[in-house]
């Protein structure tokens, strides 16, 4: 018994389950997008994080890592149960062909499992839909930055994004959308840091309070008999 699963988000750098083989490659006709809400790992129901899912687009390519689990049935069952708990926001398991860079025309593997989400806000409560970069980096209702500030039991949203950016760099296939979004979030964090510094700065003392004090000289009149007369 054996199964393969394709990771394109946090599974790329943190699979979290026992596997027998890892292969870098890509799947076709899908692209990575940040359209899925995460309320139990990197966010909360009140302040959901944005994590990536796949959007079906003809001719697109999505790079990532395929993991093989083979051996005892209980080993496969344990890995799949772990994945289903972890990927609970994804409501579909899709079977895809997996390609290697050395042969981009012929599939290296077929029937590879990939967790995807239905792009429908009615049937899929976790689907947020597409949004411009400036909206994704800003939680408009509370004027907080969504990706920059969302935090959940497994960490914050921005570290998820930055870790994905690094993971794609490490495997030699950077994603322009990930890079662009990461740069936008860095700008937001820089602005927030400046605002925090301004709010927390102590009051600057007045100039008169910082200058050295000149001692005051008091003059006293001498009595007449103490005044020397030059006759």
Q: For residue range 166-199, what is the model confidence (pLDDT) as tens digits?
A: 999 999 999 998 998 888 888 888 887 877 765 5
DSSP letters, the chain, are -EEEEEESSGGGT---S--SEEEEEEEEEEEEEEEEEESSSS--SSS-EEEEEEEEEEEEEEEEEEEEEES-HHHHHHHHHHHHHHTTT--EEEEEEEBBTTBSSS-SEEEEEEEE--S-TTT-TTB-----HHHHTSBTTTTB-HHHH-EETTEEHHHHHHHHHHHHHHTT---HHHHHHHHHHHHHHHHHHHHHHHHHPPPPPPHHHHSPPPPPPPP-PPPGGGSPP--
Predicted TM-score (pTM) of the model is 0.78
| 146-162 pLDDT per residue, tens | 788 888 888 899 999 99
Q: Is 87 annotated in the active site?
A: yes
What local confidence, expressed as pLDDT, does residue 132 receive? 57
Model confidence band, residue 212 (pLDDT cutoffs 50, 70, 90): low
pLDDT for residue 92: 94
Give per-residue pLDDT as tens, 17-46: 999 999 999 999 999 998 888 888 888 888
pLDDT tens sequence across 110-122: 999 999 999 988 8
Q: Which of 46, 87, 165, 225 is catalytic?
A: 87
């Amino acid at each position: 018994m054996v199964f393969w699963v394709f990771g394109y988000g946090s599974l790329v750098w943190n699979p979290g389950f026992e596997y027998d083989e890892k292969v870098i490659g890509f799947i076709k006709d899908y692209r990575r997008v940040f359209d899925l809400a995460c309320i139990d790992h990197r966010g909360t129901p009140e302040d959901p994080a944005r994590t990536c899912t796949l959007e079906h687009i003809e001719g697109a390519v999505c790079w990532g890592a395929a993991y093989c689990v083979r051996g005892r049935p209980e080993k496969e069952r344990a890995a799949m149960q772990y994945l289903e708990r972890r990927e609970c926001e994804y409501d579909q398991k899709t079977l895809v062909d997996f390609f290697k860079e050395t042969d981009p025309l012929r599939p290296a593997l077929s029937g590879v499992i990939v967790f995807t989400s239905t792009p429908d806000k009615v049937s899929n409560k976790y689907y947020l839909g597409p949004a411009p970069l400036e909206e994704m980096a800003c939680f408009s209702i509370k004027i907080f930055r969504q990706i920059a500030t969302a935090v959940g039991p497994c960490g914050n949203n921005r570290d998820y994004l930055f870790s994905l950016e690094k993971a794609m760099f490490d495997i030699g296939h950077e994603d322009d959308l990930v890079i662009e979004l990461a740069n936008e979030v860095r700008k937001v964090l820089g602005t927030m840091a400046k605002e925090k510094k301004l709010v927390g700065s102590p009051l600057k003392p007045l100039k008169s309070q910082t200058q050295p004090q000149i001692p005051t000289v008091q003059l006293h009149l001498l009595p007449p008999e103490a005044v020397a007369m030059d006759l």
